[in-house]
Amino acid sequence: MARLEIRQVSKIFTDHTAVSDVSLTVNDGEFLVLLGPSGCGKSTLLRMIAGLELPTYGDIVIGDRVATRLQPKDRNIAMVFQNYALYPHLTVYENIAFPLRVRGTNSKVVDEKVQWAASLVGLNKLLKRKPRQMSGGERQRTALARSLVRDPDVFLLDEPLSNLDAKLRHSAREELRQFQDRVGVTSVYVTHDQVEAMGLGDRIVVMQSGTVRQIGSPEEIYLHPADTFVATFMGSPPMNLVPQGDIILGFRPENFLPESNFASGSEITRIAFRMHRVEYLGGDRLLYGHVSGNLPETPVIARIPSSVAYAPVVGSEVPFAVATSDLRRFDTASGKALPITGSFSERRVAHV
Ligand code: ATP
């Protein structure tokens, strides 16, 4: 296990800057997620950590060693891609044993390590199978076990769940997190899926156009986005943004509720809402519409739990509100979050 440090790293491909001046630290045993839209540079950053790309500027430090110019094989890292690349003609046992066989490790040690890694990922009963006789999730676990037998200092995972179906993806995510909790290997995980990032990461790095927009725990990033990009990238539906002069007001759909849902005396900000359409999602309803009244007409979404009795009225203006403590403000010119003023927390009494 080791701490990983990225120091002012940039990668410029001829005329294109894929990663621009990124600095971050992954603590020993931490599970860090690199999250961002397609093309934001997350895979390039991961490939530089792996040693598959050389940074144009900056350094990569693994443990106590500057690893920037080390060959991938000398970094003691393990990488799991979305394409697991298992050997189809080998059993699960031999697939897991492969990195050890290549090193000429003696068979007794190979057997101990394969059994250890297979039990960590729950594959003991499948060791005689071939990859084609297994589900996508089981293959993914085989790839993880194969990486584990090498006792890596750092685990790098590039969208390893992306070719699983939605249900399997959910259980594989759960398994991956349990596995990480057990082995505690420093891990960097790349995804463009914010739900996956929230569920897996101790901390999330949100990237856009090769730069880091925010680093924080899932809660920090969701509740206190650093800018309008993060505010709209995290959350589904995204945070509502309503321009108001030189600032932009931001509020999450689940915090935007009929005024009658707030206790009298609670500190709220009233926002008139005109609804066009209701979408029923089972546990919640999404109300699509726009703000009206004295704010510029802007499309917004409210999310109301189905358990809350509310008969939405299409087309007419309805008094909605947001607890003032749930309101965020962003600078219009820079998009950056403005400090939250005042202390509202004790008086927050929204009912739903
Ligand atoms: P995705 O989620 O689609 O995999 P990503 O965030 O991982 O995207 P990268 O693969 O890191 O993005 O690519 C970042 C940018 O760098 C992209 O605009 C890509 O076109 C560019 N890029 C990546 N590799 C090269 C290369 N070898 N030569 C030139 N440009 C490249």
- The contacts of residue 190 (CB under 8 Å, 6+ apart) are 33, 34, 42, 43, 46, 157, 158, 159
What average pLDDT score do residues 308-316 get? 84
* pLDDT on residue 351: 32
Task: Between 173 and 220, name the one with better pLDDT.
Answer: 220
Q: Whose CA is nearest to atom 14 of ligand 1?
A: 41
For the purposes of burial, counting CB atoms within 10 Å of the CB of 114, is it exposed (0-12), middle (13-18) or buried (19 or more)? buried
- The contacts of residue 236 (CB under 8 Å, 6+ apart) are 194, 195
Report CA(222)–ligand 1 centroid distance (Å): 26
Report CA(39)–ligand 1 centroid distance (Å): 5
- Which H or E element spans position 187? strand 186-191
Residue percentage of the chain with pLDDT more than 90: 65
Q: How many CB atoms lie within 10 A of CB 216?
A: 18
Q: Whose CA is nearest to atom 18 of ligand 1?
A: 39
80-117 pLDDT tens trace = 876 668 999 999 999 999 989 998 999 999 999 899 88
pLDDT above 90: residue 231? yes
Ligand 1: atom nearest CA of 36 is: 6
Q: What is the number of residues in the chain?
A: 352
pLDDT above 70: residue 347? no
Angle of the 92-102 helix axis to the 136-148 helix axis, nearest 10: 20
Strand 211-216 with 203-208, pairing? antiparallel
279-306 pLDDT tens trace = 999 999 999 999 988 888 999 999 999 9
Report CA(42)–ligand 1 centroid distance (Å): 8
For the purposes of burial, counting CB atoms within 10 Å of the CB of 129, is it exposed (0-12), middle (13-18) or buried (19 or more)? middle
Nearest to 295 by CA among 267, 322, 271: 271
Q: Residue type for 132, please?
A: R
- Collapsing DSSP to helix, strand or coil, 89 comes out as coil
pLDDT above 90: residue 169? no
CA-based R_g, the chain, Å: 24
* pLDDT on residue 149: 87
pLDDT above 50: residue 349? no
Find the distance separating the first CA and the last CA of the chain, reported in whole Å.
44
What is the residue whose two structure tokens read 């509310």? Answer: 310
Report CA(192)–ligand 1 centroid distance (Å): 13
Find out whether the beta carbon of 40 lies less than 6 Å from any atom of ligand 1. Answer: yes
Find out whether the beta carbon of 52 lies less than 6 Å from any atom of ligand 1. Answer: no
Question: pTM of whole model > 0.85?
Answer: yes
pLDDT above 90: residue 207? yes
- Banded model confidence at residue 159, pLDDT cuts 50, 70, 90: confident
CA 336 – CA 147 distance, rounded (Å) = 40
* pLDDT on residue 5: 97
106-115 pLDDT tens trace = 999 999 989 9
- The contacts of residue 240 (CB under 8 Å, 6+ apart) are 250, 251, 252, 253, 256, 298, 300, 301
Find out whether the beta carbon of 38 lies less than 6 Å from any atom of ligand 1. Answer: yes
CA 258 – CA 240 distance, rounded (Å) = 16
